[in-house]
C-alpha cells in the first residue's frame, strides 16, 4: 500500500552560473509530496489498518524539512556569494549552506536522503519524494536516483 502526504515551505536560493534569471537570488513556495509504502498495520490500536498515521508522517516531514528549510535561504558552499550569506547567518538569519547547487532536482534528492534515514529508523519505506518548485514544475526522486552521490 502506498500513502502520500504533502507539506509546503517558502525558501530562497539561486543557481549560480545559470543561463537565465535563476542565477539571481529568488524564492519559491515549494510543495513537497512524500510517498511511503508498507503493509497495513494489523495490531489492534490507534494505527490499525494504516501504513503510517498521516499525523506521524507529517511530523517527520516537518522535523526534517520544514524546521530547517522553511523561511530560509539555501546556498551552495562554493557560490561566490557565500561570504554575504555567512554574515547573514552570523546575524541569526536562517541560512542553509549545502554541498550542491540547490536546484529542485538536488533538493529533492537531498530531502529524500534525509527522510529515508528517519523513516528507516521507524521501519517505513520511502517510495519517492516529489518537489514542486512552481505550480507546473516538479522533480521526483526515488531510491534509484539516490544511489549516486552528488
Q: Which residues participate in catalysis according to the annotation?
A: 22, 71, 133
> What is the SS3 assignment for 96?
strand
Give 40-81 as a 3 state SS string.
CCCCCCCCCCCCCCHHHHHHHHHHHHHHHHCCEEEEECCCCC
Please return the burial class of 94, using the count of CB atoms within 10 Å of its CB with bins 0-12, 13-18 and 19+.
Answer: middle
H/E run at residue 34: strand 26-37
Query: Which residues have CB under 8 Å from 66's CB, separation 6+?
Result: 7, 9
CA–CA separation, 79 vs 61, rounded Å? 28
Residue 46: all three cell numbers together: 490507534
Amino acid at each position: 500500500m502506498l500513502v502520500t502526504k504533502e507539506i509546503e515551505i517558502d525558501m530562497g536560493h539561486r543557481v549560480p552560473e545559470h543561463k537565465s534569471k535563476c542565477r539571481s537570488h529568488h524564492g519559491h513556495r515549494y510543495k513537497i509530496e512524500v510517498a511511503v509504502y508498507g503493509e497495513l498495520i494489523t495490531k489492534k490500536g490507534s494505527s490499525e489498518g494504516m501504513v503510517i498515521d498521516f499525523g506521524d508522517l507529517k511530523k517527520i516531514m516537518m522535523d526534517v524539512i520544514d524546521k530547517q528549510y522553511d523561511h530560509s535561504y539555501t546556498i551552495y558552499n562554493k557560490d561566490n556569494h557565500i561570504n554575504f550569506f555567512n554574515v547573514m547567518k552570523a546575524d541569526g538569519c536562517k541560512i542553509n549552506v549545502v554541498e550542491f547547487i540547490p536546484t529542485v532536482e538536488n533538493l529533492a534528492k537531498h530531502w529524500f536522503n534525509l527522510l529515508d534515514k528517519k523513516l528507516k529508523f521507524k521501519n517505513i519505506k520511502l517510495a519517492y519524494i516529489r518537489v514542486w518548485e512552481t505550480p507546473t514544475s516538479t522533480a521526483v526522486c526515488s531510491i534509484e536516483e539516490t544511489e549516486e552521490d552528488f
